[in-house]
Amino acid sequence: MKNFANSKNKFGYVYVLTPTGMAEKAASTHRFLQRKMDEYEALKAEIEALRSEVEKSGGEETQKA
């Protein structure tokens, strides 16, 4: 809110208040959330693969440390 309060160009924020602006913001948020969920699933799969690799090797790498 400080950015808005200090802004000399308040019309830069008006798009959010229009129906079209709200729709654009919702679509943008949906795309962002979907991208983050995809990244999460990819990381989860990578972690599981690494855990399986460690289990198959008997944890030798961690026992040497």
Residue type, 32: F
User: Does 25 map to a domain?
Assistant: no
User: Does 46 map to a domain?
Assistant: yes
- pTM here is 0.59
DSSP 12: G
User: Does 43 map to a domain?
Assistant: yes
User: Does 57 map to a domain?
Assistant: yes
For residue 5, is pLDDT > 80? yes
User: Does 56 map to a domain?
Assistant: yes
- Give the residue numbers spanning the domain of 63: 39-65
User: Does 1 map to a domain?
Assistant: no
List the Cα angle 24/18/31 in 5-degree steps: 15
pLDDT digits (tens, 9 = 90+) for 6-53: 888 877 766 666 888 889 989 999 999 999 999 999 999 999 999 999
User: Does 65 map to a domain?
Assistant: yes
Number of structural domains in the chain: 1
Token pair 């699933």 is found at 41
Distance CA 61, CA 36 (A): 31
Q: Give the residue with greater pLDDT, 3 vs 32.
A: 32
pLDDT at 59: 62
Q: Which two tokens stand for residue 10?
A: 């308040």
